[in-house]
């Protein structure tokens, strides 16, 4: 019988290189036949051989020609065969996966969860930490801070910055900048409605700011044509791509256009490229007035570009030498002050966020690992059920490599499906993180599933496939046809169960680590929630306005503050009103040197310079509105007029400078030893209004009438903080300060909640990871135990027939589960300790070794794990001996 | 028509012509059933009265070429006197190829014959 053509081709065994002998044999056959035929026709044997060779031609040349052809044919056939085989494997894989939809869905879902979580978090970390800043050679950019004599970071004084630039050779450029609110009216000149001024973020910058960053204009220039003229009278601005698009309508003739910036006509000289925004959030850049700064006005931020070949450490010590020299030249303002340099990236992201992200990335990696191990364990189980199929194929002549390949193709199919569903999950996840993530994390809004992230998740899915697919493939393909066919797949069960047991223990151990991590971050967050900020933000609305300096000289600000206070207080439903420079947790802090006559700094041998205290300028009603208790003396009232020198101090301040004594009536110098003298009129309770997880800072409260800054934040305590109230307050303010942008009025509680966003975000994510890990590990335990019970049906049936009670059967099976859980816990505690140590820096008052957290994590895992083992155990006890024994 | 089959004296066009002719003859010969190389040689030599295949060995590269194209398939079998021999048979694709080539050849020879017939006395 001849087999059909396709079948014969499919079954043909290709022995590499066999064509060599075949070509020779074929030619030899031809020559011999010719010789035989010639002899038969009566030729002499010797003559016949000569004639045969003559008529054939050169056998060597012909053989060579044939071999070349045969070789290329064989290679082509092998390629086609491989393609054909893999396609066939894929078809088989999809068919066999389709035949077991439950387990396939489970594997795809588990893998999708792991890949999705990892991808989402990677895209966040990528945007925030990994992606290079959009500047030329960003690794050479540094952030400059001054350091107080006490060693705290402080902003920079412009005269100092200019001297650094002159004196230090370590930099190719140093620039200073500020970031402040401004109002922008971009409506075309002469238009009737005049337009509503918009609140924008403006960055006044020094001359070489853009040069230091290495930015080039997308349109126009980054300096006016006549060059940079320092000073406040230059009326030009550079705008961001985003502002050009959104506020200026993408006007193609934007260069040269005039806009009203803080009420003054300003010409746009250039547009930056998209995404090139520094400092974060800035929309416009204007020249920084360089002539009106005292040396102790430390109010700007500094950046520098390291000269080629100069390390950050070398530049740091170089600048410290310059700073030391300045300290000798200007002892009043500079003695004891040094400079601190940080990589721009780490200065922007902050060590806390940076570390937290890396910890989360590590945790999500652990989750992915658990998912892989789980899928792996499911594949091993599936493989055990298919040992018959494998045995049949082996005995039909399939080599082991072929079986491994087939199983790996199956794993790849799962990997692909899992990767795709993970990607879908990641898109949703990134959206969620952008929505809920802490607002202060820079570049978070740029997080998206882009090509980099796609490449990452493809790599993750692929690596996972190898990770979870290889071991089961090797295990399943190792068959002993004789035994497996006879035993129907039961003999290899013990080995399979051992392997699965090891995989389940791994999952449990990893889950313990994540549970401990989640427990620690959650406890830390709860402790942070329990911190008393020292003020009550309940039912208080807050809104900040920034008065244009030119239109509102100090006297006008003073009267305006009184007027606003009066008008807002008169609104129905208002309980009390206060104005202040900066509100709690609004990202606006002021601090200044303070000298207290007769006070000697303790602890350090030499008191260098003056201590720094945080200060706020507040109107009457501030303590009442925020429910800050007045402990001694009186609050700020309307009797604290312009020209007077009064101050209210916080308890921490009083205890630091006048320990055990009454502070009221004492005198201090605001601004250092040559500052203005002020008399303490009251002491109030401590307030944590800048950082929640630190001890309250010593704080001074000065009357707004004596320090009338242009920033005014209005705090309005209401009977019930509602949207209607917020609208009423906003409307009233707009009436009182026409032409000044008034942003949305928001509850003060939002500020406080914002200070807790980051820890909450971390705790939520860690908990989500831990819950997912726990679920996966529990399903692993459950699957293994259910499998074991199914395998031991007969044995259990025999035991019960011989008199074992159901309780004994449950105990027997549960014991096995308990052993797994115990092994997982023991292994997991080691891993947990490592994870906890890396969490240390982001925890608030929660030591990484906190025993109760570990105990709780172990308890949760034990309960869930044992429950997962108990369910199959109970099913084992329900086995009916007669049914179990008569089956098969 | 006699053909000198050494590569150095045959130009490319002529080589193509020989190859094409030989391929056609092999395919045609195999329509009778599977044959080994020696039998194909004999068949072609007899039926062309030894005009083509001056050098018998030239058959074998042609067979390999056809096999590579998938027009014929090879299989080892037993010869008439019970020796191992490589048998070639026409594949489905080869059968289709033969049909097209026969048509082309027919049209070609007819056209050439007409031209030659008018020129020759």
Residue with tokens 């800072």: A697
Instruction: From residue A341, give the alpha-carbon distance in Å to each of A101, A317, A347.
Output: 59, 10, 9
Measured between CA atoms, the residue of chain B closest to residue A34 is B38
Same domain, A83 and A160: no
Determine contact: B79 vs chain A, CB below 8 A.
yes
User: Would residue A143 count as lying in a domain?
Assistant: yes
User: Would residue A400 count as lying in a domain?
Assistant: yes
Report the distance separating Cα A361 and Cα A440, nearest Å: 19
The number of C-beta contacts closer than 8 angstroms across A and B is 67
Nearest to A718 by CA among A598, A865, A816, A577: A577
Query: What is the model's pLDDT at position A494?
Result: 66
Q: Do B61 and A73 touch (CB under 8 A)?
A: no
**CB contacts, 8 Å: B68 with chain A:** 69-70, 72-73, 76
Measured between CA atoms, the residue of chain A closest to residue B37 is A30
Q: Other C-beta atoms within 10 Å of A812: how many?
A: 16
Determine contact: A458 vs chain B, CB below 8 A.
no
Structure confidence at residue A551 as a pLDDT band (50, 70, 90) = confident
Q: Do A5 and B55 touch (CB under 8 A)?
A: no
User: Would residue A121 count as lying in a domain?
Assistant: no
CA distance A39 to chain B (A): 16
Same domain, A203 and A243: yes
Interface residue of B33, B53, B56 to substitute, partner A, most A CBs within 10 Å: B56
Q: Decide: helix, strand or coil at residue A684.
A: strand
Q: Decide: helix, strand or coil at residue A825.
A: helix
CB-CB contact of A322 with A231 (8 Å): no
Which class for A85: exposed (0-12), middle (13-18), buried (19 or more C-beta within 10 A)?
middle
Interface residue of A22, A69, A73, A80 to substitute, partner B, most B CBs within 10 Å: A69
Determine contact: A21 vs chain B, CB below 8 A.
no
Same domain, A455 and A546: no
User: Would residue B59 count as lying in a domain?
Assistant: yes
Same domain, A358 and A461: yes
Query: What is the model's pLDDT at position A438?
Result: 65
Same domain, A333 and A358: no
**CB contacts, 8 Å: A25 with chain B:** 84, 86
CA distance A34 to chain B (A): 8
Task: Give the residue with greater pLDDT, A739 vs A489.
Answer: A739
**CB contacts, 8 Å: B94 with chain A:** none
What is the average per-residue pLDDT within A516-533?
A: 84
CB proximity list for A380: less than 8 A, separation 6 or greater: A471, A472, A475, A476, A496, A499, A500, A503
Task: Give the residue with greater pLDDT, A50 vs A103.
Answer: A50
CA distance B64 to chain A (A): 6
The secondary structure of residue A491, as a DSSP letter, is T
CA distance B81 to chain A (A): 10
Nearest to A221 by CA among A186, A189, A182, A254: A254
User: Would residue A112 count as lying in a domain?
Assistant: no
What is the average per-residue pLDDT within A588-599?
A: 81
Query: What is the model's pLDDT at position B2?
Result: 42
Report the distance separating Cα A370 and Cα A194, nearest Å: 61
The CA-based diameter of chain A, rounded to the nearest angstrom, is 145
User: Would residue A267 count as lying in a domain?
Assistant: yes
Residue with tokens 């802090």: A589
Nearest to B63 by CA among A66, A28, A61: A66
Is residue A69 scored above 70 in pLDDT?
A: yes
Is residue A605 scored above 50 in pLDDT?
A: no
Q: First CA to last CA across chain B, in angstroms?
A: 19
Point out the domain boundary residue: A333, A350, A367.
A350
CB-CB contact of A407 with A135 (8 Å): no
Q: What are phi and psi of A201, to 5 degrees?
A: -100, 125
What is the average per-residue pLDDT within B48-76?
A: 83
Give the number of domains in chain B: 1
| Range list of β-strands (E), A207-295 | 219-220, 236-239, 258-261, 264-271, 284-287
Nearest to A692 by CA among A615, A597, A584: A584
Residue with tokens 């705090």: A715
Report the distance separating Cα A567 and Cα A565, nearest Å: 6
What is the average per-residue pLDDT within A845-853?
A: 84
Same domain, A230 and A345: yes
Q: Do A30 and B5 touch (CB under 8 A)?
A: no
Structure tokens at A865: 């794990």
H-run or E-run covering A172: strand A171-177
- Indicate the residue of B37, B57, B84 with minimum beta-carbon distance to A57: B57
What is the average per-residue pLDDT within A471-484?
A: 71
Structure tokens at A299: 């109010």
- Indicate the residue of B55, B61, B85 with minimum beta-carbon distance to A65: B61
Q: Decide: helix, strand or coil at residue A425.
A: helix
CA A441 to chain CA centroid, nearest Å: 9
H-run or E-run covering A743: none
CA distance B57 to chain A (A): 5
| Residues forming beta bridges with residue A271, ordered by sequence position | A219, A239
Same domain, A702 and A808: no
Interface residue of B18, B22, B60 to substitute, partner A, most A CBs within 10 Å: B60
CA distance A54 to chain B (A): 8
User: Would residue B50 count as lying in a domain?
Assistant: yes
Nearest to A511 by CA among A839, A860, A816: A860
What are A813-823's pLDDT values in tens digits? 888 888 888 99
What are A705-719's pLDDT values in tens digits? 998 888 899 999 998
Structure confidence at residue A9 as a pLDDT band (50, 70, 90) = very low
Q: Other C-beta atoms within 10 Å of A856: how many?
A: 16
What are A129-144's pLDDT values in tens digits? 777 777 888 889 999 9
CA distance A798 to chain B (A): 59
CA distance A403 to chain B (A): 28
Structure confidence at residue A304 as a pLDDT band (50, 70, 90) = very high
User: Would residue B117 count as lying in a domain?
Assistant: no
CB-CB contact of A413 with A87 (8 Å): no
Point out the domain boundary residue: A350, A365, A382.
A350
Q: What are phi and psi of A489, to 5 degrees?
A: 95, 10
Query: What is the model's pLDDT at position A370?
Result: 84
- Indicate the residue of A26, A72, A73 with minimum beta-carbon distance to B37: A26
Q: Do B37 and A30 touch (CB under 8 A)?
A: yes
Query: What is the model's pLDDT at position A625?
Result: 92
CA distance B118 to chain A (A): 37
- Indicate the residue of B56, B64, B92 with minimum beta-carbon distance to A57: B56
| Domain extent for A23 | 14-99
Task: Give the residue with greater pLDDT, A276 vs A575.
Answer: A575
Interface residue of B52, B64, B71, B79 to substitute, partner A, most A CBs within 10 Å: B64
User: Would residue B12 count as lying in a domain?
Assistant: no
Nearest to A38 by CA among B60, B42, B2, B87: B42
Determine contact: A56 vs chain B, CB below 8 A.
yes
**CB contacts, 8 Å: A59 with chain B:** 57
User: Would residue B14 count as lying in a domain?
Assistant: no
Which class for A459: exposed (0-12), middle (13-18), buried (19 or more C-beta within 10 A)?
exposed
**CB contacts, 8 Å: B10 with chain A:** none
**CB contacts, 8 Å: B86 with chain A:** 22, 25-26, 29
Residue with tokens 């900066």: A582
Query: What is the model's pLDDT at position A606?
Result: 42
Give the number of domains in chain A: 4
CB proximity list for A381: less than 8 A, separation 6 or greater: A103, A496, A500, A783, A784, A787
Same domain, A695 and A841: no
Is residue A193 scored above 80 in pLDDT?
A: no
CB-CB contact of A736 with A649 (8 Å): no
What are A743-792's pLDDT values in tens digits? 888 888 877 777 777 777 778 878 888 888 888 888 888 877 887 787 77
Q: Do A66 and B83 touch (CB under 8 A)?
A: no
Report the distance separating Cα A90 and Cα A704, nearest Å: 76
Determine contact: B3 vs chain A, CB below 8 A.
no
Query: What is the model's pLDDT at position A285?
Result: 93
The pTM is what?
0.65
- Indicate the residue of B57, B61, B83 with minimum beta-carbon distance to A29: B83
Q: Is ipTM beyond 0.85?
A: no
CB-CB contact of A749 with A726 (8 Å): no
What are A725-751's pLDDT values in tens digits? 888 999 999 899 988 888 888 888 877
Determine contact: A634 vs chain B, CB below 8 A.
no
The CATH number for B59's domain is 1.10.10.10
Residue with tokens 């966020």: A353
**CB contacts, 8 Å: A29 with chain B:** 36-38, 79, 83-86
Q: Decide: helix, strand or coil at residue A713.
A: strand
Query: What is the model's pLDDT at position A10?
Result: 44
Q: Do A57 and B37 touch (CB under 8 A)?
A: no
Q: Do A69 and B56 touch (CB under 8 A)?
A: no
Same domain, A425 and A508: yes
Nearest to A610 by CA among A633, A624, A591, A583: A591
Query: What is the model's pLDDT at position B118?
Result: 63
Q: Do A29 and B60 touch (CB under 8 A)?
A: no
Measured between CA atoms, the residue of chain A closest to residue B5 is A57
What is the average per-residue pLDDT within A410-430?
A: 87
CA A667 to chain CA centroid, nearest Å: 48
User: Would residue B93 count as lying in a domain?
Assistant: yes
Nearest to A583 by CA among A353, A754, A348, A349: A754
Interface residue of A7, A26, A39 to substitute, partner B, most B CBs within 10 Å: A26
Same domain, A185 and A273: yes
Task: Give the residue with greater pLDDT, A89 vs A650.
Answer: A650
Point out the domain boundary residue: A52, A68, A99.
A99
Mean pLDDT computed over every residue of chain A: 83
User: Would residue A181 count as lying in a domain?
Assistant: yes
Task: Give the residue with greater pLDDT, A571 vs A21.
Answer: A571
Report the distance separating Cα B66 and Cα A372, nearest Å: 50
Q: Decide: helix, strand or coil at residue A309.
A: coil
CA distance A99 to chain B (A): 36
User: Would residue A740 count as lying in a domain?
Assistant: no
User: Would residue B26 count as lying in a domain?
Assistant: no
- Indicate the residue of A27, A56, A73 with minimum beta-carbon distance to B68: A73
**CB contacts, 8 Å: A79 with chain B:** none
Torsion of CA A221, A215, A286, A742, to 10 degrees: 120
CA distance A88 to chain B (A): 22
Same domain, A337 and A359: no
CB proximity list for A382: less than 8 A, separation 6 or greater: A100, A103, A472, A476
Same domain, A366 and A344: no
| Domain extent for B83 | 34-104
Is residue A301 scored above 70 in pLDDT?
A: yes
Report the distance separating Cα A690 and Cα A823, nearest Å: 46
- Indicate the residue of B5, B55, B60 with minimum beta-carbon distance to A27: B60
Q: Decide: helix, strand or coil at residue A106.
A: helix
């Amino acid at each position: 019988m001849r087999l059909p053509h396709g079948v014969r081709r499919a079954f043909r065994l290709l022995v590499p290189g066999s064509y060599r002998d075949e070509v020779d044999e074929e030619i030899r056959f031809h020559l011999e036949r010719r010789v035989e035929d010639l002899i038969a026709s009566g030729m002499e044997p010797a003559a016949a051989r000569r004639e045969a060779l003559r008529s054939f031609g050169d056998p060597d040349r012909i053989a060579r020609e044939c071999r070349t052809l045969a070789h290329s044919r064989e290679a082509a056939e092998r390629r086609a065969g491989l393609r054909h085989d893999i396609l066939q494997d894929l078809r088989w894989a999809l068919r066999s996966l389709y035949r077991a939809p439950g387990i396939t869905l489970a594997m795809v879902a588990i893998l999708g969860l792991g890949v999705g979580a990892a991808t989402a978090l990677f895209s966040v970390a990528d945007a925030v930490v990994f992606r290079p800043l959009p500047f030329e050679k960003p690794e050479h950019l540094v952030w400059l801070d001054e350091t107080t004599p006490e060693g705290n970071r402080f902003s920079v004084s412009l005269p100092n910055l200019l001297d650094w630039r002159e004196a230090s050779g370590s930099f190719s450029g140093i620039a200073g900048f500020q970031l402040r609110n401004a109002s922008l009216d971009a409506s075309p000149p002469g238009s009737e409605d005049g337009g509503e001024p918009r609140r924008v973020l403006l960055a006044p910058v020094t001359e070489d700011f853009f040069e230091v960053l290495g930015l080039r204009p997308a349109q126009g220039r980054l300096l006016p044509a006549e060059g940079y003229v320092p000073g406040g009278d230059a009326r030009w601005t550079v705008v961001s791509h985003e502002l050009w698009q959104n506020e200026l309508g993408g006007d193609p003739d934007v260069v040269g256009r005039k806009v009203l910036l803080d009420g003054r006509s300003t010409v746009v000289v250039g547009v930056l490229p998209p995404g090139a925004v520094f400092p974060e959030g800035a929309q416009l850049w204007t020249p920084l007035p360089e002539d009106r700064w005292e040396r102790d006005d430390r109010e700007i931020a500094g950046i520098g570009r390291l000269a080629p070949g100069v390390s950050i450490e070398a530049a740091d010590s170089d600048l410290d030498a310059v700073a030391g020299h300045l300290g000798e030249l200007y002892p009043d303002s500079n003695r004891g002050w040094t400079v601190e340099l940080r990589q721009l990236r780490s200065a922007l992201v902050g060590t806390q966020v940076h570390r937290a992200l890396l910890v989360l990335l590590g945790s999500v990696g652990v989750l992915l690992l658990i998912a892989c191990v789980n899928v792996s364990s499911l594949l091993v189980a599936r493989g055990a059920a298919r040992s018959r199929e494998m045995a049949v194929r082996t005995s039909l002549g399939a080599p082991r490599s072929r079986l491994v390949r087939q199983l790996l193709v199956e794993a790849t199919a799962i990997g692909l499906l899992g990767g795709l569903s993970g990607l879908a999950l990641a898109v949703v996840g990134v959206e969620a993180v952008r929505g809920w993530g802490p607002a202060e994390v820079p570049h978070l809004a740029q997080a998206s599933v882009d090509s980099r992230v796609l490449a990452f998740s493809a790599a993750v899915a692929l690596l996972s496939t190898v990770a979870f697919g290889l071991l089961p493939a090797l295990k399943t393909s190792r068959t002993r046809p004789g035994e497996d066919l006879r035993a129907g797949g039961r003999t290899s069960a013990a080995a399979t169960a051992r392997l699965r047991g090891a995989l389940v223990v791994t999952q449990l151990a990893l889950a313990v680590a994540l549970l401990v991590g989640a427990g620690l971050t959650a406890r830390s967050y709860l402790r942070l929630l329990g911190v008393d900020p020292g003020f009550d933000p309940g039912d208080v609305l807050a809104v900040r306005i920034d008065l244009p300096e030119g239109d509102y000289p100090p006297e006008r600000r003073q009267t305006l503050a009184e007027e606003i206070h009066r008008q807002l207080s008169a609104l129905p439903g208002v309980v009390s009103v206060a104005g202040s420079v900066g509100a709690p947790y609004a990202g606006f802090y002021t601090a200044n040197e303070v000298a207290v006559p007769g006070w000697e700094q303790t602890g350090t041998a030499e008191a260098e310079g003056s201590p720094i205290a945080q200060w706020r300028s507040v109107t009457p009603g501030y303590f009442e509105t925020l429910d800050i208790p007045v402990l001694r003396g009186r609050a700020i009232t309307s009797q604290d007029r312009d020209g007077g020198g009064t101050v209210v101090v916080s308890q921490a301040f009083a205890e630091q400078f006048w320990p055990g004594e009454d502070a009221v009536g004492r005198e201090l110098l605001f601004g250092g030893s040559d500052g203005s003298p002020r008399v303490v009129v009251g002491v109030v309770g401590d307030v944590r209004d800048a950082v929640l997880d630190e001890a309250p800072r010593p704080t001074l409260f000065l009357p707004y009438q004596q320090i009338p800054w242009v920033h005014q934040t209005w705090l309005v305590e209401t009977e019930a903080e509602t949207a209607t109230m917020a609208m009423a307050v906003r409307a009233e303010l707009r009436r009182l300060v026409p032409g000044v942008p008034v942003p949305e009025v928001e509850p003060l509680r939002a500020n406080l909640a914002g200070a807790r966003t980051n820890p909450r975000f971390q705790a939520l994510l860690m908990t989500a990871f831990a819950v997912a890990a726990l679920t996966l590990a529990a399903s692993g335990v459950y699957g293994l135990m259910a499998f074991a019970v199914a395998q031991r049906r007969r044995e259990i049936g025999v035991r019960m027939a011989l008199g074992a009670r159901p309780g004994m059967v449950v105990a027997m099976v549960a014991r096995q589960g308990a052993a797994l859980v115990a092994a997982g816990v023991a292994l997991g505690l080691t891993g947990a300790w490592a994870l906890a140590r890396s969490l240390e820096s982001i925890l608030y008052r929660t030591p990484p070794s906190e025993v109760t957290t570990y105990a709780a994590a172990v308890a949760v895992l034990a309960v869930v794990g044992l429950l997962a083992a108990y369910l199959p155990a109970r099913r084992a006890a329900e086995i009916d001996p007669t049914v179990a024994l008569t089956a098969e | 028509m006699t053909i000198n089959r050494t590569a150095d004296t045959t130009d490319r066009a002529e080589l193509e012509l020989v190859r094409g002719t030989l391929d056609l003859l092999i395919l045609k010969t195999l329509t009778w059933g599977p044959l080994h190389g020696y039998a194909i040689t004999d068949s072609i030599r007899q039926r062309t009265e030894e005009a083509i295949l001056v050098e018998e060995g030239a058959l074998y590269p042609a067979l390999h070429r056809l096999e590579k194209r998938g027009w014929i398939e090879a299989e080892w079998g037993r010869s008439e006197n019970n020796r191992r021999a490589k048998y070639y048979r026409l594949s489905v694709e080869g059968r289709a190829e033969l049909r097209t080539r026969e048509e082309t050849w027919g049209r070609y020879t007819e056209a050439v014959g007409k031209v030659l017939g008018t020129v020759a006395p």
